[in-house]
């Protein structure tokens, strides 16, 4: 879809958990990301039904959000060996916006209504 036809559509946000910071570093270098097949349908649907999809990355157990990106393409069938054979699905483009860590404590006021209004982290 062209950007003008998606202007009045909602913006979606997803917290992406990574098992390690190295995967996020690889993503920054290559401008791609891959997720588990169970997440692909949600992300692709959001990509096509939203004006913008923002991805907020956090390494499991870090207590921080590490990086922020925008989903730049739908998820395709092509797989990447950059993350090994960790059960990831297809690759999609990500446009990195911010490459700094922000502790969860700075986002304590954000609650997720679709997750029993728990803190976003």
Indicate whether 103 pLDDT > 70.
Answer: no
Assign 30 a pLDDT band (cuts: 50, 70, 90): very high
What pLDDT digit, counting tens, does each position of 70-82 carry? 999 999 888 888 8
H helix or E strand, kind and range, residue 40: helix 37-49
In DSSP notation, the chain reads: --GGGGTTSPEEEEEEEES-HHHHHHHHHHTEEE--HHHHHHHHHHHHHSSEEEEEEEETTSSEE-EEEEE-S---S---STT-SSS---EEEEEEEE---EEGGGGTT-EETTTTTEEP-
pTM here is 0.79
pLDDT mean over 54-82: 88
Note the pLDDT of residue 82: 80
Note the pLDDT of residue 109: 62
Domains of the chain (ranges; CATH) run 11-119 (3.10.590.10)
């Amino acid at each position: 879809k062209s950007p003008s036809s998606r202007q009045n559509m909602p913006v979606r946000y997803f917290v992406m958990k990574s098992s390690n910071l190295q995967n996020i570093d690889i993503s920054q270098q290559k401008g791609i990301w891959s997720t588990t097949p169970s997440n692909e349908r949600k992300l692709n649907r959001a990509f096509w039904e939203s004006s913008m999809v923002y991805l907020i990355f956090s390494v499991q157990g870090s207590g921080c959000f590490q990086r922020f990106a925008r989903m730049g393409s739908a998820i395709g069938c092509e797989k990447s060996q950059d993350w090994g054979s960790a059960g990831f699905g297809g690759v999609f483009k990500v446009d990195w916006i911010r490459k700094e860590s922000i502790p969860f404590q700075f986002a304590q006021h954000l609650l997720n209504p679709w997750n029993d209004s728990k803190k976003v982290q």
